Structure 1
Amino acid sequence: MTYALPPLNALRAFEAAARHLSFKLAAHELHVTPAAVGQQVKALEARLGVQLFGRLHKQLVLTAAGQAYLPGISDGFRLIAEATSQLKPAGAVLLQLGVHGSLDLRRLDLAAFRSAHAEIGLRVLQPAGLHELVEGKADMLIARGVSHHPGYRCDRINEGSGLGDWLIAPEGTADCPEIVSFRDWLRALPAERSLVNRNRPRLVGTAGN
């Protein structure tokens, strides 16, 4: 059976905005801009042919159609989340690392990280960029030359004045235990593989292969 479904990102934007009754708070949750949430909701309304929100001055309210639509969408996301959680290895938290295409993964010694952190199911997506991070395909990203991105924490992993490599994670999850463990792993790499300077609070280190 083929399901006629609106775009998933538009549904996520609607569901978050409907719970918060705020594009700004929905944007913070989804790690995008309020304008992006508004555009996604507008596209969804056009796709469905109904108005889901009423915009009264600076207040966002659900229309009757929006109120009727929200429970089913929320339940759908809950069922998807529950079904996905059942696929995870017992006791493991899945963490998706996006990496730009030119980075040599041997520098990260990921096999040793997995051995030391059996509770984290680390997966790597390469090549990956900001698109994959924003779309939720990666939980954190090692990107080339991205020193700042709104709503994200960016930590440099190469020292110098050039473009450099940066570890990027959404501000809302940048301090979760799994991402902190990976950040700490980079800080603790042996000197001959060093990517970071342990004397600084943020990810800054020496260049090298």
Structure 2
Amino acid sequence: MTYALPPLNALRAFEAAARHLSFKLAAHELHVTPAAVGQQVKALEARLGVQLFERLHKQLILTPAGQAYLPGISEGFRHIADATSQLKPAGTVLLQLGAHGSFDLRRLDLAAFRSMHPAIGLRVLQPAGLHELVEGKVDLLIARSLGHHPGYRCDRVNEGPGVGDWVIAPEGTADCPEIVSFRAWLRGLPVEKALASRHPRLVGMAGS
């Protein structure tokens, strides 16, 4: 059976915008720009031949068609998420790390990190840049830059002024336990101490 489905990215943009009733908040969740969310929704409306939102001044309202469409789309994403979670080993959190092409990954001793943090499934994409971070292909990024990116937390890997290597993560997810653990690993700090300041209930995860 062949399913007649609109593009997945357009459906994700609609579902997030409909939940938040905001292109800006949907963009923050999806790590893209509000303009990109708006374009995806507009393309979806054109494909379906119906208007899903009323775009008022500083206000987004679902049309009757949008209200009818949302529950089924949200339920579909929940089924996909549930099916995906069943493929993962119990207790494993996936952390996708990107790194610029000239960064020497041997500096990180990733095998030792994986050994110390079996609850974190670490995957690496190299080369990767801000585009991959914005598109959600990686959760955090080691980038060669000046470390100034609005909406993102930037932590310097090496000391010194000017251009350097920075760990960059969206502000909304920068304090997730797995990202805190990796940031602490880079700094050579005890992970338990770094986690305790933000997630006292999750300290055990770092050492499990």
TM-score of the pair, normalised by structure 2: 0.84
- Deviation at 1:131? 2.0
Map 1:25-64 → 2, pairs under 5 A: 25-64=25-64
Structure 1 CA distance, aligned partners of 2:93 and 2:156? Answer: 25
Structure 2 CA distance, aligned partners of 1:11 and 1:150? Answer: 26
Identity %: 88
Q: Can you give the 5+ residue segments of structure 1 that lack an aligned partner in the other structure?
A: 190-209
Q: Deviations over 1:95-130 (max 9, x none)?
A: 111111111110001111111111111111111122
35-44 or 11-20, which moves further after superposition?
35-44
Structure 2 CA distance, aligned partners of 1:88 and 1:47? Answer: 34
- Deviation at 1:183? 0.4
Counterpart in the other structure of 1:174: 174
Structure 1 CA distance, aligned partners of 2:153 and 2:160? Answer: 19
Counterpart in the other structure of 1:132: 132
Q: Can you give the 5+ residue segments of structure 2 that lack an aligned partner in the other structure?
A: 190-208
The runs of at least 4 consecutive aligned structure 1 residues that moved more than 3 Å come to: 1-4
TM-score of the pair, normalised by structure 1: 0.84
Counterpart in the other structure of 1:82: 82
Task: Report the RMSD for the aligned CA atoms in angstroms.
Answer: 1.7
Counterpart in the other structure of 2:108: 108
Structure 1 CA distance, aligned partners of 2:117 and 2:38? Answer: 40
Structure 2 CA distance, aligned partners of 1:8 and 1:150? Answer: 27
Structure 2 CA distance, aligned partners of 1:144 and 1:165? Answer: 5
Amino acid at match of 2:139: D
Amino acid at match of 1:80: I
Amino acid at match of 1:152: Y
User: Are the equivalent residues in 2 in contact too, given 1:31–1:151 (CA < 8 A)?
Assistant: no
